[in-house]
Chain A
Amino acid sequence: MTVETSPTPYTPTLNLPPDAPSDEFLNQLLRQSEQQKVNIHTEISGWLQELRQRSAYDVTKQRMPSRKDEEWRFTDISELLGLTFQLPQSGELTKNAIAPLTLPEAKQTRIVFVNGIFAPNLSDTSGLPEGVYAGNLSNLPLDNCYEAIKYIAYQDGDKELFTALNSTGFPDVAVIWANPNVIVETPIHLLFISTVEEQPSFTQPRGLVIAEQGASLQVVEHFAVASDNQCSDIPKNRPYFNNNVTEVFIKENARVNHTRNQRESGDGFHIGKTAVSQEKHSHYTCNAITLGGKLSRHNLHIWQKGESTETYLNGLTLIGREQLADTHSALYLQYPHGVTDQLHKCVVDDQAHSVFNGKVHVPQAAQLTNAGQLNRNLLLSPKARVNTKPELQITADNVKCTHGATVSQISADELFYLQSRGINAENARNLLLDAFAGEILERLPVASLQKVLAQCVACRTYE
């Protein structure tokens, strides 16, 4: 696939009815979306126009969720409502500025989006093999572009408020697309960077990953913030709102290993959606790491759309201070011989609050399913808080399903055992914490990321 020059950006109207949205905050965001310029081939502008208007209509029929809504019972987003957002004003970053965010394993397989907009000067795809595209929608040849838009915003759950909101105003689309039977062994780094500005900014990055029949991909999706070399975790009272959506399509016999590394700044609000459709005999692995953000929510939805489909979900949330991190996953099995295994771990320090809700739907048609789910939480402080809700809905009668949730502190007996070997209490505690987080980190396919994150675990949890 060749790279063409970008078409001129233009702004499709949302046709917002003047009095339609009753929710003031959503109204504010929609008005911002309406101003969002988009880089796109003019030939598909009709499609975009239709999508944006349809999505705006879906948004206006809803209101911002509150804790009275079952899906948001434990996650209070009222703090977001007090802020006035605008579209990012800047967006120019240098290679040096993003160097700390890059992965040595993906030096020449990296695409970078700043505030959701493709940044060719920061990207390098020279290391990609034949038959795989990584870039943005407008650089795809037109024929492929017509094909690609058939995937965007047509999955179930597309009308969900924040997903629809993203569809009203994404400024660009990141595309990773592997042709049939193309095996890409090098991880592809999909780096979404937010720039922090004087005024609270509102960005809506959008991603699309397609693995055609028999293809195999490793994607490291990374949400980061352009910061001044210091650790971005420290809040500096510069809030911004990142409302992102990434859709993943895995065809028959294809495999996608998806690492999702959420490292917003300590001031960031992050609401993210990962929506995955899997065809028969396909494999999907998600390694979702959540360290960043003042308030974050990850909605992870997977549909198994064929027999003998395998889904593996690994999650690690590591939060402190007053952070809130919410993971809502939903797995929809629909065919026989489906396999799923989920392990979601949370380490919660200070006054932080983690929320986990894991739905697994096993309807009558999904016989011979093998589903496992475990959520383990480690509380490091008396004021840390956890809400966990494994939710298995099983109507099939010939299945093997297990689930569980644990909430614990560091075990006194384990500490004593390590101390009795001469390891002091602090080191013993750290060894146990590293081990807890390590069970997820060791599943990451990229060694440098394992190392960086292990250091972050240490930095966060060692007093």
Chain B
Amino acid sequence: MIKENSEVILSVRNLHATVEGTPILKGMNFEVKAGEIHAIMGRNGSGKSTFSKVLAGHPDYEVTDGEIIYHGENILDLEPDERALKGLFLAFQYPLEIPGVSNLDFLRVAYNSKRKAQGKEELDAFDFEDLVEEKLNIVKMEASFLERSLNEGFSGGEKKRNEILQMALLEPSLAILDETDSGLDIDALKIVAQGVNQLATPENATVMITHYQRLLNYVEPDYVHVMQGGQIIKSGGKELALELESRGYEFLEEQAIASEVTA
């Protein structure tokens, strides 16, 4: 939902980042306001996933230039957990399996970390279970999932639903969904999309990173951006996604080359 004069949640300016010395992001500019849903599309290797990891603070990526302003504050020097506590959430493309850590314990520790950071009292095991069972409905998960080890032996769809469950508990102000639609069958995709829609409010924002237009049928973006070579090369409304679907990425690349030539 686009609203005039709403708060700027994220402002990325001229962001450059490398992994093991190889430049991946090469001057990324990107702005998100409260209430908005953005989609970032692009081919493999265009830098989409790197962008999401750099936002979340993955230690393997080095920011060499530019800034990430989140709620008015440059967060480049913050640890991943500090960013998370400020309301930034990354739903992983490949959520990790962690044997021996029960899903419920993990969710409670994460939730209570946030409560603590907000100066609120931590929830005890019983109160937390009540809360989490309520949230399970959002992603239509069985309570038995809570007793299992975190993501261990979960199917692709179950892992993604578990990511959305975490999002529902942590109530981020900015959610970045990295290829959340990949590997999902149509039923799981609908559940995940409904979850995302349900969690979207005028105060928060969502950035969906995706290859395909498929997810955008269920979660309607306000803006669609196309990444290529570590930059956003085109931005538009939701119709841009449809155009990409029918014409492929080539037409944009040709346009980009043409504009470079004319420039």
Residues of B within 8 A of A439 (CB): 99-100
Closest-CB distance, B14 to chain A (whole angstroms): 24
| Contacts A416-B59, A431-B109; A421 near B166 (Cβ below 8 A) | yes
- What 0/1 readout, one digit per residue, does chain B (77-115) give for beta carbons within 8 Å of chain A? 001110111000110100110111100011001100110
At the interface, yes or no: A413 with Cβ under 8 Å from chain B?
yes
B110 contact from A416, A423, A432, Cβ within 8 A? A423
Closest to B105 in A: A431
At the interface, yes or no: A420 with Cβ under 8 Å from chain B?
yes
| Contacts A431-B101, A435-B101; A424 near B113 (Cβ below 8 A) | yes
At the interface, yes or no: B205 with Cβ under 8 Å from chain A?
no
Contact yes or no, B59 A420, CB < 8 A: no
At the interface, yes or no: A46 with Cβ under 8 Å from chain B?
no
Contact yes or no, B166 A432, CB < 8 A: no
Residues of A within 8 A of B24 (CB): none
- What 0/1 readout, one digit per residue, does chain A (342-353) give for beta carbons within 8 Å of chain B? 000000000000
Chain B residues with CB under 8 Å of chain A are: 56-60, 79-81, 83-85, 89-90, 92, 95-96, 98-101, 105-106, 109-110, 113-114, 117, 149, 166, 170
Closest-CB distance, A394 to chain B (whole angstroms): 28
Contact yes or no, B81 A424, CB < 8 A: yes
Closest-CB distance, B223 to chain A (whole angstroms): 24
Chain A residues with CB under 8 Å of chain B are: 412-414, 416-425, 427-428, 431-432, 434-436, 438-439
Closest-CB distance, A442 to chain B (whole angstroms): 8
Closest to A436 in B: B100
Contact yes or no, B106 A431, CB < 8 A: yes
Contact yes or no, A420 B101, CB < 8 A: no
Residues of A within 8 A of B117 (CB): 422
Distance between Cα atoms of A208 and B114 in the complex (Å): 54
Residues of A within 8 A of B149 (CB): 435
Closest-CB distance, A185 to chain B (whole angstroms): 25
Closest-CB distance, A362 to chain B (whole angstroms): 28
| Contacts A417-B96, A439-B99; A422 near B58 (Cβ below 8 A) | no
Residues of A within 8 A of B84 (CB): 419-422
Residues of A within 8 A of B85 (CB): 422
| Contacts A412-B59, A417-B96; A424 near B79 (Cβ below 8 A) | yes
Contact yes or no, B81 A423, CB < 8 A: yes
Residues of A within 8 A of B81 (CB): 419-425, 428
Kindly list 18 other residue pairs between chains A and B, CB separation below 8 angstroms, not including A412-B60, A419-B57.
A416-B80, A418-B106, A420-B56, A420-B80, A420-B81, A420-B84, A420-B89, A422-B81, A422-B85, A422-B113, A423-B110, A423-B113, A424-B113, A428-B81, A431-B105, A431-B109, A434-B101, A436-B100
